[in-house]
Amino acid sequence: MEMNFESLKKEILSQLPIKNTDSSIPGFYAMDDATALGKNRVDAASALVFKNILFYLGLIFRYPTEQIYSEIETRLDTFTDFFVDYGGAAPQLPPIEELQSEYIRLFVNNQGFVPAMPYASCYQSEGLLMSDQFYRLRQIMVKSGFMVNETVKELEDHIAILLEFCAGLLNQLASGQASSGKSSGACVAALMEVSYLYIEPMMDAFCDRIHAYAYDDFYKIAGKTLKSLMQDADTIYDQLLGFRIHSINELQG
């Protein structure tokens, strides 16, 4: 699928919630032009791969009901190489009861507190749910044509939903759906924003806490994998989309 890079770049920039777009301040959302100019097409095949990876990680960070558990289980082989590469080991799936109680211990309720809160908001300002940035997220989602299923009682910035949302956006891009009605630019901008302003900032604390509090290796490896995948996001997006936005990282310090 061909795209006009210059107009795409403009569009993306216009969509990002940038307070200060002054180009005289170096590093502010500046595109890496050398990379960008080299490619101007979405690598659809890679996008689908990344989509599947994110979707699968999304499943892993959901409460393992029987259905989810068996889905994780059946697919685990497929993703083994990926886990080894990013997380340093292939995770072993513990029995379902173990996984369920481990999930609750880490992400839902522990004695009065939650060790690894799965919500992006909790890693912003006061550590509470539904921070100011939360509404922006809801807005991006709806703008991109998504909303949380009515039967799901979960907040939009739950890591599982964030990952699934990214997967959905990648799917739109790869399948060209984005051009029908929604623009690719908006789609890419949404992807960048969710990746860099919601997922990335929570990665360190979230994954470190999983590591510190988990009894079992499963979530430890999953956490480590997610964290290093996000560290690699610049280069992956470069590969997929033909440009990189590396300075949001810098902005986040």
Partner 1 sequence: MEKKRYAIVLDTKKCLNCKACTVACKFENYVPVGDDTYRIWVTELPLQGKFPHLHQDFQPSQCQHCENTPCEKVCPTKATFKTPEGVVLVDYEKCILCKACMTACPYDARFVSEHHEAVEKCTFCMHRVSEGREPACVETCPVRVREFGDLNDPNSRVSRLLSSRPYMQLKPEKNTRPRLFYVL
Partner 2 sequence: MNNKIMSRRKFLGLSTGAVAGALFGPHLNLLMAAPEGTFDYSILPKGKREYIASNCDMCVNKCGIIGEVVNGKLHKINPNPKNVKSRGMLCAKGNAGAAIPYSPDRLKTPLLRTGKRGEGKWKEISWDEAFKYVAKNLADLKQKYENRSSVAFASTEGFQEEFYYYLVNSFGSLNTVRHTTLCLSTNIQGWSSVFGSFPDADLANAEYVIMLGSDRAQALITPDSVDFQRYKPKGQKLIVLDPRFTETGAKADRWYPIKPRTDQGFVLAMLHVIISENLYDREFVETYTHGFDELKEMVKEYTPEWAEKKCEIPADDIRQIAREFADHAPRSVIYPGRRSSFYSHEVYVRQTFAILAAVCGCWDTKGAVVPKASIPLTTHEIMFPFFGQTMDRVDKDAVNLVKDVVPSAVQCPMIGTGLPNDSCAFLSEKDGSWVTFREAVLKDDPYPVRGFFCFKQNPVQAVPNVQKTMKMLEKMDFICVIEQQMSDTAWYADIVLPHSTYLESWDPAHSLGGIWPIVEMRQPVIKPLFDTKTMFEISGGIIHEMLKIPSLWDDIEPSDLEDFKKNVVEDILDKPIQDYIKHQLSKYPGAYEQLLKEGFYTVDGGKPVYGTTRKPGFLFKSKTGKIELFNERYKEFGLFPLPKYCEPLKPQDPGEYRFLVGRNAWNTHTSTQNNPYLWEIQKENSVWLNTGEAKKLGIADGEYVRIKSKIGEQRIKAYVTEKIRPDCVFYVNGYGMKSPGMSRVYKSGASEAEIIDDVLDTISGGVCMHETFVTINKA
- For partner 2, the closer of residues 68 and 251 by Cβ is 68
Q: How far is the CB of 4 from partner 2 (least distance, A)?
A: 25
- For partner 2, the closer of residues 39 and 136 by Cβ is 136
* Rounded Cα distance, 148 and 232, in Å: 27
Site for partner 1 in 12-41 (CB under 8 A): 19
Q: How far is the CB of 69 from partner 1 (least distance, A)?
A: 38
- For partner 2, the closer of residues 5 and 119 by Cβ is 119
* Rounded Cα distance, 250 and 32, in Å: 14
- Per-residue binding string, partner 1, 71-110, x by CB under 8 A, is ----------------------------------------
Which residue among 21, 65, 67, 125 contacts partner 1 (CB under 8 A)? 125
How far is residue 88 CA from its own chain's centroid? 20
Q: How far is the CB of 13 from partner 1 (least distance, A)?
A: 20
Q: How far is the CB of 170 from partner 2 (least distance, A)?
A: 12
Q: How far is the CB of 129 from partner 1 (least distance, A)?
A: 15
Question: Residues 109, 114, 119, 123: what is their CA dihedral angle, to the nearest 10 degrees?
Answer: 170
* Rounded Cα distance, 64 and 66, in Å: 6
- For partner 2, the closer of residues 7 and 72 by Cβ is 72
Three-state DSSP class for 41?
strand
* Rounded Cα distance, 168 and 210, in Å: 26
Give the C-alpha distances (Å, rounded to integers) separating 135 from 7, 140, 145, 155, 192: 28, 9, 15, 11, 17
Where does this chain bind partner 1 (CB under 8 A)?
19, 125-126, 132
